[in-house]
Every structure is written in structure tokens, then in C-alpha cells.
Amino acid sequence: MAPYEDPTRPIEQRVSDLISRMTPAEKAGLMCHAPVAARPDGGLAEESAGPLPTAPTTHAVRDLHLRCLALMAPVAAGPLARWHNRLQDLAAGSRLGIPVLVSSDPRHSANENPLTSVPSGGCSRWPEPLGFGAIGDEELVREFARVIRAEYAAVGIRLAIHPMADLASEPRWCRAAGTFGADPDVVGRLAGAYVEGLQGARLGPGSVAGMVKHWPGAGPQAGGEDAHFARGKDQVYPAGLFELHREQFRPSLRAGAAAVMPYYGRPVGVPGLGEVGFAFDREVVAGLLRRDEGYDGVVCTDFGLLTAAVLPDGSLWPARAWGVEHLDRAGRALLLLDAGVDQLGGEWCPEVITDLLAAGRVSEARIDESVRRVLTVLFRLGLFDDPYVDEERAVATVGRADFAAAGAAAQRRAMTLLSNDSGLLPLASGIRLYVEGIDPGLAAGHATVVGRPEDADAALVRIAAPYEPRKGLPEAFFHQGRLDLPDRQREHLCALAATVPTVIDVFLDRPAVIPELAGCAAALVADFGAGDDAVLDVVFGHARPEGRLPFELPRSMAAVEAHPEDLPGGTADPVFPLGHAADTHAWHPRAAGPGNG
């Protein structure tokens, strides 16, 4: 038995021994964090099947020596456990038997953007992180993260590419749903609680490692455009609040986050920082993060800083190398390594690193720094001692009834009553109800569903927050642009409200400019990822909405456009301010009667 294989030895000794045995190619493989797919039957996927390219799994593990793989596929628990064990078998057959660390974007919420989340694959369903920001309960966040830990670990996912500790200060930013909102008194502490729930008191065999993102704070995107795309490459700080955004990461770092991911954006006008993507700037990684915060964990870039992606329609999605677009892949990689980055997210090109080493442009000692950090995580998670999972246990754990019940309860708690001046809510059971955007069959369990507003005692409508659809992949996946309703939709909803008392529930994946609805609806409710059953339970009084707005709802697009992108809240005369909620203390079911239809 080699020293690195001996579980009785200290991890530091095991890591050092293994590094001494590794070739440059094996080391470089650990410095790429590539996306992979899995077949529905649990087989290894060798071709891309989704909207984004993925690495051919066998080639990546066997030939390129990759050992950190981000799973992009929504596979059910049994086949996913089978896939994971096959993957570990493949790795075990290599010269040194280094196991694979499987990672994933979020799988437990309502977001359907494949670039920022993964369909559940049977995991319990919870509100978006915004919903936890609305509730503001640290222990609930820990409970949620412990459920993620249980469900992920059961199928072999041992690194969560979350949480987001970003402050959603710019109302138009399309990534708000993945944050805990815009309240600086809430966001950082909930992100820290999330890391605690994932990892436990100390990273170990029972943990799922957390990768907190997007250092030192995405959110203040110029004009609200996202840095996944060239038009949104700039982050701006007209209110001078760079430090407020950075501060949100400290609770996660204190909790021992195993990894940190910088964002794509390039800061504009921040003293001491270059106008290049955060990961390329030595002051951002080696300075602010490692020197000032004392962080010595893994730093992994956001995906696709080196290599352009060829999409299924043949179009090219450029690498997000903002500020250094003129450099080739080797030049970009060299900047990243000099900045203090350990892993190239979304890449499977270890030859770029070995070529830099062979040319003398980077030292093997510098490569060993990053390899040591990555291997330390693998050892601490216990992957070298037992990387396998039990398929039966995976099936029994993922989507477990108590996990599902807790997620359903959180969906209801997170809902936020915005207005109820008429006192219409809770609706009385058995009334005649007209519905739009909600399952009539489910509604029939609470009321008599009618087909015309004129025949109803009340109407219940579910809508999504407005956005401007963008053409072409991958930008079509992101909800960006204006926050106000299209004229036709606004006129329809106001006309409906003039016909019958109308309750409108808005799914807020980012703020909405809806002053007309606040004026015409009998009651206005917000959800942050909730099923129709949850919405019906709340509006009929069987569950109390406990949320408070995790961001404000501006009065106009003019107010949004005049607002500093880095300032949380503070638009002119908002319809509903940050932290708003109408009173729900007397919330309870109401029976139908002479005054209730």
C-alpha cells in the first residue's frame, strides 16, 4: 500500500505522497472542471445531448486524467447512482486510481435555465433561494442544505456549485432567483448557513462540499445585462458599494467553503482593480480573497473562460474572457494561474496547462499548489477510501417523503402577501372561482371552478414576472431586459379585475414593475417557486404566507434606469419597498357563506 492509499495517515502526508507520484498530465487533469452528461439508463455519455457541449466521459477520465466533473443531466436516482459507480470504476482502473469528484448546479428549485441549474431528477422541490431570503430563517436554510447534502451524496454528487452570495442590487439582473435577494442584512448570513448545512461543522466524509459564488459579488451589472454575454461584461459601482457586495461572502468563507467561483464580469472604475474579468485579476484572487480573507481553498473559474462553445445549431458562443479577448487560450490560462486560480471551469483542455509547463511559462511548483488544494478536498470527502454509493439507498433517499414535505412547506412559507386591502383573502372555500394559469383540477378541490369571469365570485390568476425574450441560444434561456408587463397582458388583467374581484399571484424570479396590478387587483401575492397546490393552500387560508419582499418592486422603468446598479433598494417611490409584506396574522380558512358567494 502506497502512503497516499493509507487511510490512517494524515491527509497532508497522503496528498504530498500522491503529488510526488503524479505526471504533469495527471496534475493538469485535476485543474480542469468539465461538464459531462449521463445517459438515462446510467450509462456513460460520450456525446453531447443537451443545449451545451459536454466532455466525452471516458476520454476525459481515462485519457485526459480529469477528476472533477460537473453533471449536467437530469437522471433519476437509481440510474444516476449506477452512472456514478461506473465512473468510479473507470477512474479506479487508472495508474494511480484517483477517484472522481462529481459536482452539480442546483437541482431543487423551479429555475429551468440549463446554464444555471439542472432539472431535479427526482430531488425534493423547494422555493428558489429568493424564497429563503423572503423568509429570512437561517435554520431553515441549514435544513434545506442538509437535505441537499443527503440527496446529492446518495447519488454521488459531492460538490455543490452553489450557493450564490451575490447581492441582487440591480433589478433587471437575470440571476436574482439564485440569490437570497437584495438585503445586505440577510444575504451573507443565509449564504453562510447554506455552506454550514452542506458541509457540516468540518468538511469530511459526510459532507457535500460547497462552492460559493460569484466572488467578489455579481449583481451590479451595467444596465442589468448579464456577464454571460458580451453586452453585459461590465460591472459598475456608481454608488461606490463594491465593498458591500464583497462583504456578503465573509460568512461563507468563515464557514469553511471548500471552493469559491469568481464571476465573469469585469469591474469598471474600481480603484486597484483591472478592467478584466474577476478571475483574471491577481488582486481579486491572490489579493482580496487569499491575502485579505485568508482563504486557501479551491478557486474555480466560472465556466468557459478559455474556449468558445459550439452550440447545437452550429453557432458559436464566445469564451467569456472579458477584457482579455485578444489573448489566446494559453495566454488566458497563464493569467488565471498567475491570479491564483486552481481550476478552469467548463474546460477539458489540460494540454494548455502542460504546454505552458513544458515551455517554462509556469513552474511545476505553481501547478502543485493547485493540485494540492484540489486533492485535499477529495481526501477530506473520503473519496479515496470509499467513492461508491448504494443504488437502493439512493432510490430510497432522493425525493424522500419528509424531504418533499419540508420543501412544500417552505414553498408556502416563502409566499408574500403584497396587498389585500379589500380583505378578499383568504378566499372562502366553495366559492365560484375563475382561474387562469393554474390547474383547474387542483382548484376544484377548493372551489367550484367556472369557465367565465362573469359567473365567478372571484378570479385567481398566476403570472410570471415580465421579461424581454431574447433570440437565439443560449441567451434565450435568460430572463433579461424590461420589467414591466406587455400592454396586452396588462390590459387583460386590469379588465378581468374590473369584471370580478381578482387575486393575482406573481412568480418573482426578479423584480417586476406592476403598479397597475397593485392598483386594480383585489389582492396581490408573490411566490418564489411554488406549485399550484401551494398557491391554492395559501390563498384559501390553509397555509400562511410568511415572506417579506427580498427586493423592492419599482414603480417604473424610468426609476429602474435611474437607479445605481450597486445600490440594493432605493429606487424612486417603489410600489412595494424591500422587506414589505401585508399583514397575515389572522390568516385561516374561511367557510363559504352568504357574504362569501
What residues are labeled active site?
A: 302
Q: Contact 211/105 with Cβ under 8 angstroms?
A: no
CA-to-CA distance for 507 and 111, rounded, in angstroms? 11
For 226, other C-beta atoms within 10 Å of its C-beta total 24
Cβ density class 482-516: b for 16+ within 10 Å, e for less: ebbbeeeebeebbebbeebbbbbbbbbbbbbbbbb
In degrees and rounded to multiples of 5, residue 227 shows phi and psi of -75, 0
Q: What is the DSSP string of 462-523?
A: EEEPP-B---STTGGGS-BS--BPPHHHHHHHHHHHHHS-EEEEEE-SS--B-HHHHHH-SE
CA-to-CA distance for 440 and 337, rounded, in angstroms? 56
Nearest in space to 138 (alpha carbons), one of 185, 198, 190:
190
Pairing of strands 344-345, 316-317: unpaired
CA-to-CA distance for 69 and 52, rounded, in angstroms? 15
Pairing of strands 523-527, 416-419: antiparallel
For 30, other C-beta atoms within 10 Å of its C-beta total 27
CA-to-CA distance for 479 and 460, rounded, in angstroms? 24
**SS3 per-residue string spanning 245-282:** HHHCCHHHHHCCCCEEEECCCEEECCCCCCCCCHHHCH
